[in-house]
Amino acid sequence: MQESTKDEIVLKGHGNLKKDIFEPILEYIYSGKMDVQSKDTDTIMEILGEAHYFSMSELVDEILAYLKEANQDNLIKWSFKMLLFAETHSNHNLKEECFKELEVYPDKAILDEDLGRLSAKTLEELISRDSFSALEENIFHAVIRWIMTFKPGVAQPLEDGPCPEVKSLLAAVRLSQFNESFLEAQWLRKYFSADKILDALVLRKSNCFLKRKDRGVPRTVPRKSIL
């Protein structure tokens, strides 16, 4: 380790690290304490990232607990922000915690603009959860918004089209949870094959989808949170 400039520290195998990020981490190593409240959000997030990089699990947990407490008035926003962090740092436990928070108010979460910042993989994981009980039509519209934002070149995002991310996201939408008028809309055939829509209509009218066991707790129409 050596001081390269007045404001940066060079760590071998890591690169430059700002002093205002490194010094609190070093202090925590020696004292086990960090004054998180005196720091702005951007600095806290940088410290959090470095703490995760150095496998300082206790510090990571303390910072996450502080951030969650500080954002009690809007846990949906906190959850999406932490999901982005969890994606970047492959923090699976944090991702699961965020998913559970979003499941508390699913119909608000699915309409939140920050949903569109998630990767296709994380969005698919969220909407595939049986316990994420947002209205299925809203889930579908959220998926289409994501596709139009990140895959604008896909003229017809059919589920059997060439884009694997689009195919996976549309496959996670449960057509049998749509109401019948939604399923019968002609424009829906732009996204799903006629055969798949027909199967969903038959399944819905027979109420067989309520008895399915292979997907855990089935979503109902209209859905309510099971938490």
Based on the fold, state whether residues 169 and 188 are members of the same structural domain. yes
Distance CA 119, CA 125 (A): 10
Listed residues 70, 94, 125: the one ending a domain: 70
Distance CA 32, CA 22 (A): 14
* Position 113 confidence tier, pLDDT thresholds 50, 70, 90: very high
Residue 88 reports pLDDT greater than 80: yes
Give the residue from 159, 141, 90, 85 showing the smallest Cα distance to 118. Answer: 85
Based on the fold, state whether residues 110 and 147 are members of the same structural domain. yes
pLDDT at 223: 43
Based on the fold, state whether residues 104 and 214 are members of the same structural domain. yes
Listed residues 70, 89, 105: the one ending a domain: 70
Based on the fold, state whether residues 18 and 79 are members of the same structural domain. no
* Position 74 confidence tier, pLDDT thresholds 50, 70, 90: confident
Based on the fold, state whether residues 83 and 64 are members of the same structural domain. no
Task: Report pLDDT digits (tens) over 127-153.
Answer: 999 999 999 999 999 999 998 888 766
Question: Encoding tokens for residue 108?
Answer: 């608000």
Query: What's the domain range around 144?
Result: 74-227
Order across the sheet with 2-3: list the strands.
2-3, 8-11, 15-18
pLDDT at 152: 66
Q: Mean per-residue pLDDT for 63-74?
A: 83
Based on the fold, state whether residues 12 and 89 are members of the same structural domain. no
Based on the fold, state whether residues 156 and 195 are members of the same structural domain. yes
Tokens 């690290």 correspond to 17
Based on the fold, state whether residues 95 and 116 are members of the same structural domain. yes
Helices (H), 8-162: 19-31, 41-53, 57-70, 75-89, 92-104, 106-109, 120-127, 136-150
Based on the fold, state whether residues 122 and 180 are members of the same structural domain. yes
Decide: pTM greater than 0.85.
no
Based on the fold, state whether residues 45 and 63 are members of the same structural domain. yes
Distance CA 26, CA 30 (A): 7
Instruction: Look at the chain and report how many structural domains it folds into.
Output: 2
Task: Report pLDDT digits (tens) over 166-213.
Answer: 889 999 999 988 988 899 999 998 889 888 899 888 888 776 555 433
The CA radius of gyration of the chain, in Å to the nearest whole number, is 22
Based on the fold, state whether residues 118 and 219 are members of the same structural domain. yes
* Position 68 confidence tier, pLDDT thresholds 50, 70, 90: confident
